[in-house]
């Protein structure tokens, strides 16, 4: 009896797997005729809850699972010829709001991820964020990954580490003031040249297209200080699944939803 039950379970899993594969191929075929986003930003939320639900010993188990999912997500993006992907890995708020032990584990996980991504495919890795509050070993790993991939021409990956949207805008303004002063400009003339385009050029992501689509997992529907300037005209898509449980079909559905939207850009 037990044997027959096991056989039925395996057959059910196999059947679901076949249907799942057919469904994904159907969405991909439709997406092949649509305009896809050039830049996708991902807030992979829910790693700690994922670990807690599974009664795992520490949050680090969830963060490692999240890092593995980020790599998988980037493969999905690359296979669909998306140009830029931004991953929200560690915020400025995290640096002050998380326990030191969890942060130390996160630093190592992020460093390992940067190393891994910089040696995979033809991807270009860039750190976007501040180095304030980051340990030297993590900064070194991020810089090494960027240097190693500087000449790569494939998927451009932004690793948002020590990142805060408000801090980014403040840093951009400071950069503009310093550049203006270095060119001999007076402070009272700065207002004459200050434009949204100039501020955008001095952001961490200066020169890149703004994200067309921002995805967040775990059912939360907020930005959490992520790409506040760049997402002014972005489309948003929220997934109920916790970060490590995100499936390729969830991503394909997000792209399908994006493709059906009419982007007005304020018009």
132 catalytic? Reply is: no
CA gap 102, 123 in Å, rounded: 29
Interatomic CA distance for residues 235 and 262, integer angstroms: 10
Cβ contact 216:45 at 8 Å: yes
Residue 176 to residue 226: CA distance in whole angstroms: 21
Q: Is 245 one of the catalytic residues?
A: no
Q: Among the options 94, 158, 210, 212, which is catalytic?
A: 94
Q: Are 163 and 144 in contact, with CB atoms under 8 Å apart?
A: no
Whole-number Å distance between alpha carbons of 158 and 205: 8
Active site residues: 45, 94
């Amino acid at each position: 009896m037990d044997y027959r039950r096991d056989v039925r379970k395996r057959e059910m899993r196999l059947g679901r797997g076949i249907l799942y594969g057919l469904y994904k191929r159907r969405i991909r075929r439709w997406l092949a005729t649509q305009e896809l986003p050039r830049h996708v930003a991902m807030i992979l939320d829910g790693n700690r809850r994922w670990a807690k639900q599974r009664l795992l010993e520490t949050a680090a188990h969830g963060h490692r699972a999240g890092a593995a999912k980020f790599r998988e997500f980037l493969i999905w993006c690359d296979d669909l010829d998306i140009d830029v992907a931004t991953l929200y890995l560690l915020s400025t708020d995290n640096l002050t709001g998380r326990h030191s032990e969890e942060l130390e584990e996160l630093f190592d996980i992020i460093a390992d991820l940067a190393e891994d991504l910089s040696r995979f495919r033809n991807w270009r890795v860039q750190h976007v964020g501040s180095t304030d509050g980051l340990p030297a070993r993590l900064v070194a790993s991020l810089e090494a990954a960027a240097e190693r991939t500087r000449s790569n021409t494939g998927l451009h990956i932004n690793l948002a580490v020590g990142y805060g949207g408000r801090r980014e805008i403040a840093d951009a303004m400071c950069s503009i003031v310093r550049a203006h002063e270095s060119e001999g400009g007076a402070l009272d003339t700065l207002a004459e040249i200050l434009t949204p385009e100039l501020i955008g050029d001095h952001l961490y992501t200066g020169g890149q297209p703004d994200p067309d689509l921002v995805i967040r997992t775990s059912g939360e529907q907020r930005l959490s200080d992520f790409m506040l300037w760049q997402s002014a005209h972005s489309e948003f898509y929220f997934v109920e699944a916790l970060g490590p449980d995100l499936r390729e079909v969830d991503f394909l559905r997000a792209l399908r939803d994006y493709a059906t939207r009419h982007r007005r850009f304020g018009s």
